[in-house]
Amino acid sequence: MSPPSRRLQTKPVITCLKTFLISYSLIFWFTGVILLAVGVWGKVSLEAYFSLASEESTNAPYVLIGTGAIIVIFGLFGCFATCRGSPWMLKLYAMFLTLVFLAELVAGVSGFIFRHEIKAKLGVAYENAVKTYNSTDSSSSSSMALYCCGVNNYTDWGDTDYFKEKGVPTSCCIDSDKCQPEVLKDIVTAGTEVYTVGCFARVTHVMESNLGIIAGISFGIAFFQLIGIFLSCCLSRYITNNQYEMV
């Protein structure tokens, strides 16, 4: 058995580590709540942006919601493991934080490296959506919600079969009550009655203007996991050593 003075020196360290780790776990839990909120917001507010480029809705909001829910659960688990002072629970918590760190790092680096390819594919998808457009497409309501028209601008409709038959879609009209069929069939005069900014241009502008903020937050959260991993491993080691010292 180790001297009592040795155990008395270890206990304040364990208490200090527990305090820091509980504080960390609460912050980690809060980030999960934020991801949940962003996922729900993305599903509600940004669905129109992606429905223009694809007939199928994006899974990105669901990924955020699922990730946020998992982080919330493990954040609570981290608090419970810390309060219990269980070494195996703390090691499990550290393993989870390591997986989260690696996943966020890979996702962030991949998104940055392939950002131009993603943008190019999105542009092609928008061009195809305009070329194959018909009046029953769901993208009509999306255009009105986004206040945009065409790919880069409203004149993109001039080369489509739809324009030759019906002109610029009424979904591009600023005020549908004032849009006359003869005006929409003239690509020049239509510019006074429809939104002139293209939907692809608007979407990429929104994404690129927030890319720096999103990347900064993502990498900040990713490296934030390293603090939790360090605290969990240290606390687990100190508790284990303290148990051996008491034998």
Q: What is the pLDDT of residues 18-56, one digit of tens each?
A: 999 999 999 888 988 888 888 888 777 666 555 555 544
Q: Tell me the C-alpha distance between 126 and 128, whole Å.
A: 5
In this predicted structure, what is the pLDDT of residue 134?
67
Q: Which residues of the chain have pLDDT under 50?
A: 1-2, 5, 8, 55-57, 138, 141, 245-247
| Side chain identity, residue 22 | I
Q: Tell me the C-alpha distance between 49 and 204, whole Å.
A: 10
In this predicted structure, what is the pLDDT of residue 95?
93
Residue 129: its H or E element: helix 115-131
What is the chain's Cα-based Rg?
27
Residue 158 DSSP class: G
In this predicted structure, what is the pLDDT of residue 94?
93
Among the listed residues 16, 8, 6, the one whose alpha carbon sits nearest the alpha carbon of residue 234: 16
In this predicted structure, what is the pLDDT of residue 89?
92
